[in-house]
């Protein structure tokens, strides 16, 4: 065994245990700050306030504050820009979307001798999160995805006959990872001459150089339909319970390329089979992977607001995890070209579409809030939210037992990659006149990613495959901190109202083409998402 094969073999030993992607679980569990214009203009600091249609999805105890019925609708115009920065490039991609962000109704029945009791009910539709994002970039290569795949395939001892996807049914009947099979059939990894279970990639350290590019398009949303009940007890305690039914769709299309000088192009070996060659020519490939997830979920929310004196309100809300049932389809295509190799012409190879079923429980959430009422003109409110990102849970549908199995490896990855998130929200409102109010707020959300993930050299392996190793997207994104700055105004005309808000949101993330490992290291791109939301709400109280 030559030194190159030996180094790949030793470095690849940690690759032996693939796992379901914890990164997808985090992506599907995110929550944006969305709701009515009044709610968003005060940075969502409403846990202790209530009296707004958005409380149906935050603190259901806020429904008890209502003494009249209300109906309202909210339009949200999202102007988004995503910037990707590498040592070699900086690019920005923008897009604008307009959606109905919230439609809600609350009914109220007041009773008691002093009319200090109520029973209220409400229904709402709201968008909890948007996945829409596009970014792209390029960087000088530190190593190659082909070396990662060659190392894993060598360490696992896969024979070339097993990696061959001819016929296509081998993808389903075999036991090899789909990405290894796709790479082998696209000549991204090739046998060492004379061996059927040892592989080399296209990269030779110190000899090969190259440029890699990435183009990522994410789409989708999480919508929630809420049913709430609550009430008021002697104007001291307001309570509520809500049931949320969610609809989710997530689409990821990633195109990753490597173009190399002095690549180890495949050649015809002694046994007339295609094997790894010596450096000396140009070569490259493009991996176009896709992932489409749809599903539904359900959660329960409980909340109370206590008003010991008129000037002070204290709020508490607990959200159970959202229990999702998910359907996933995924696959990939590699286009390749190795001119001058004498063995392989440009071509393309694809996997079939893989279909799988999942269950995901998102993080549970705890919210505490306190609000002060200053005279009849001002409100100051502050919230703290704890989001248990590291308590997500995955299970998958086992094709052999025909039932759902707890996925231990994927859940261990969740604990390895993520910690809890902490969110602070501060908002204020000042009533300038009886009909006109001004509002402002700020919110800060800590990163759910463990600190060790910030340094590629110190990062653990990041697994992006499935239980049956059918995953074909090696890239991943980890989110950092998020900041919101909000402004708004409101008008009241008798029973009618109109509110407007401007929300600035910035979130940092790290994109990595494939997992760092002992043999080859990818680059990491810094992603900056900037949203400018213009939000308009109108409603009627009766």
Tell me: the pLDDT tens digits for 225-237?
A: 999 999 999 999 9
* pLDDT classification of 194: cutoffs 50, 70, 90: confident
- Does the pLDDT at position 341 exceed 60? no
Residue range 15-53, pLDDT digits in tens: 433 334 788 899 999 899 999 999 999 999 999 999 999
Measured between alpha carbons, how far is 171 from 192 in angstroms, rounded to an integer?
Answer: 23
- pTM for the model stands at 0.90
The pLDDT tens digits of the residues spanning 344-401 come to 768 899 999 999 999 999 999 999 999 999 988 999 999 999 999 999 999 988 877 7
- Contact at 8 Å (CB) between 36 and 405? no
Reported as a pLDDT band with limits 50, 70 and 90, residue 429 is very high
Nearest to 74 by CA among 532, 533, 433: 533
Angle (nearest 5°) at CA 297 between 296 and 299: 160
Q: Minimal CA–CA distance to 220: which of 252, 254, 249, 253?
A: 249
What's the pLDDT at 516?
Answer: 80
Tell me if the bond preceding 205 is cis, omega within 30° of 0. no
pLDDT at 14 over 50: no
Structure tokens at 444: 């800060």
CA distance 159 to 165: 12
| Cα 245 to Cα 325: distance, rounded to the nearest angstrom | 12
Q: Which residues contact 400 (CB under 8 A, 6 or more apart)?
A: none
410 SS3 class:
helix
Q: How far apart are CA 15 and CA 474, in angstroms?
A: 13
Name which residue leads in pLDDT, 77 or 268.
77
Q: Are 432 and 492 in contact (CB under 8 A)?
A: no
Residues in contact with 226: Cβ distance below 8 Å, sequence separation at least 6, in sequence order? 56, 57, 122, 123, 124, 125, 126, 242, 243, 244, 245, 301
Whether 534 shows a pLDDT value over 90: the answer reads yes
Q: How far is CA 127 from the centre of its chain?
A: 15
d(CA 222, CA 532): 19
pLDDT over 90 at 280, yes or no: no
Six-digit token string for 309: 């004196």
What is the C-alpha separation between 164 and 153, in angstroms, rounded?
13
As a whole number of angstroms, the longest Cα–Cα distance in the chain is 98
Residue 5 pLDDT level (bands cut at 50, 70, 90): very low
Distance (Å, rounded) from C-alpha 446 to C-alpha 267?
51
- Say if CB 352 and CB 398 are below 8 A apart: no
Does position 340 have pLDDT exceeding 90, yes or no? no
Q: Does residue 339 or residue 427 have the better pLDDT?
A: 427
Digit-coded pLDDT (tens) for 134-144 = 999 999 998 89
Give pLDDT tens digits for 103-125.
999 999 998 877 889 999 999 99
Residues comprising the chain, all counted: 542
Indicate the average pLDDT of the chain.
Answer: 89
CATH number of the domain at 3-78+96-541, please? 2.40.160
Q: What is the average per-residue pLDDT within 172-177?
A: 81
Q: Which pLDDT band, with edges at 50, 70 and 90, does 12 fall under?
A: very low
Among all chains, which residue has been given the structure tokens 């074909």? 472
What angle do helix axes 3-11 and 145-156 make, rounded to 10 degrees?
80
* Residue 407's pLDDT band (cuts 50, 70, 90): confident
Could you tell me what percentage of the chain is helix, strand and coil, using 3-state DSSP and rounding each to the nearest 5? 15, 55, 30
Q: What's the pLDDT band for 206 if we cut at 50, 70, 90? A: confident
pLDDT attached to residue 468: 76
Q: Are strands 436-445 and 323-337 parallel, antiparallel or unpaired?
A: unpaired
Please give the C-alpha separations between residue 418 and each of 25, 320, 347, in angstroms, as whole numbers. Answer: 11, 19, 40
Question: 494: which residues sit within 8 A by CB, 6+ positions away?
Answer: none
Domains of the chain by residue range: 3-78+96-541
Q: Which residue has the higher pLDDT, 269 or 192?
A: 192
Express each pLDDT in 433-453 by its tens digit: 999 999 999 999 999 998 776
pLDDT of residue 277: 85
Q: List phi, psi (to 5°) of 472.
A: -130, 15
* CA–CA gap between residue 182 and residue 505 (Å, rounded): 39
Provide, rounded to the nearest whole percent, the portion of the chain with pLDDT above 70: 93
3-state secondary structure 312-370: EEEEEEEECCCEEEEEEEEEEEEEEECCCCCCCCCEEEECCCEEEEEEEECCCEEEEEE
Q: What pLDDT shows up at residue 450? A: 86
How far is Cα 134 from Cα 472, in angstroms, rounded to an integer? 20
In this structure, are residues 490 and 446 in contact, taking their beta carbons and an 8 Å threshold? no
- Residue 187 region by backbone torsions, left for phi larger than 0, else alpha for psi between -120 and 50, else beta: left
The DSSP symbol for 471 reads: -
């Amino acid at each position: 065994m030559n030194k190159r094969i030996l180094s790949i073999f030793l470095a690849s030993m940690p690759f032996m245990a693939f796992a379901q992607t914890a990164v997808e679980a985090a992506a599907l569990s995110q929550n944006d700050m969305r709701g009515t214009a009044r709610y968003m203009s005060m940075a969502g600091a409403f846990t202790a306030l209530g009296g707004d249609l958005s409380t149906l999805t935050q603190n259901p105890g806020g429904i008890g504050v209502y003494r009249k019925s209300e109906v309202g609708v909210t339009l949200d115009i999202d102007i988004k820009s995503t910037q990707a920065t590498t040592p070699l490039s900086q690019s920005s991609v923008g897009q604008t979307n307009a959606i109905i962000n919230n439609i809600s109704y609350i009914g109220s029945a007041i009773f008691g001798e002093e009319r200090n009791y109520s029973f209220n009910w409400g229904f709402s539709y709201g968008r909890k999160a948007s996945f829409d994002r596009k970014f792209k970039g390029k960087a000088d290569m530190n190593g190659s995805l082909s070396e990662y795949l060659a190392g894993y395939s060598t360490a696992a001892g896969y024979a070339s006959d097993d990696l061959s996807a001819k016929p296509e049914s081998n993808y389903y009947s075999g036991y090899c990872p789909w990405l290894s099979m796709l790479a082998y059939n696209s000549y991204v990894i090739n046998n060492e001459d004379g061996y059927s279970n040892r592989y080399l990639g296209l990269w030779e350290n110190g000899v090969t150089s190259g440029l890699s590019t990435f183009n990522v398009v994410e789409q989708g949303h999480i919508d929630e339909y809420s049913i709430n009940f609550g009430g008021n007890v002697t104007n001291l305690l307001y309570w509520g319970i809500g049931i949320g039914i969610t609809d989710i769709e997530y689409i990821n299309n990633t195109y990753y390329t490597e173009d190399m000088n002095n690549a180890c192009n495949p050649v015809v070996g002694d046994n007339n089979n295609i094997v790894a060659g010596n450096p000396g020519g140009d070569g490259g490939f493009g991996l176009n992977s896709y992932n489409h997830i749809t599903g539904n979920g359900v959660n329960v929310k409980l909340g109370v607001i206590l008003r010991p004196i008129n000037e002070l309100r204290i709020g508490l809300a607990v959200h159970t995890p959202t229990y999702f049932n998910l359907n996933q389809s995924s696959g990939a295509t590699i286009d390749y070209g190795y001119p001058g190799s004498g063995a392989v012409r440009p071509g393309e190879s694809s996997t079939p579409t893989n279909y799988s079923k999942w269950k995901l429980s998102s993080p549970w959430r705890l919210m505490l809030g306190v609000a002060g009422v200053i005279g009849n003109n001002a409100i100051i409110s502050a919230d703290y939210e704890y989001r248990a990102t590291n308590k997500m849970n995955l299970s998958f549908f086992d094709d052999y037992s025909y039932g759902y199995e707890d996925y231990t490896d994927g859940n261990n990855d969740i604990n390895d990659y993520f910690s809890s998130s902490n969110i602070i929200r501060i908002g204020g409102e000042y009533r300038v006149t009886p009909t006109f109010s001004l509002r402002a707020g700020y919110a800060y959300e800590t990163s759910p990613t463990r600190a060790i993930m910030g340094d590629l050299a110190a990062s653990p392996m990041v697994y992006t495959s499935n239980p049956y190793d059918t995953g074909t997207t090696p890239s991943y994104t980890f989110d950092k901190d998020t900041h919101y700055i909000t402004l708004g105004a409101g008008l009241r005309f008798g029973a009618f109202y109109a509110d407007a808000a401007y929300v600035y949101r910035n979130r940092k993330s790290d994109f990595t083409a494939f997992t760092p490992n002992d043999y080859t290291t990818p680059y990491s791109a810094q992603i900056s998402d900037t949203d400018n939301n213009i939000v308009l709400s109108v409603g009627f109280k009766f």
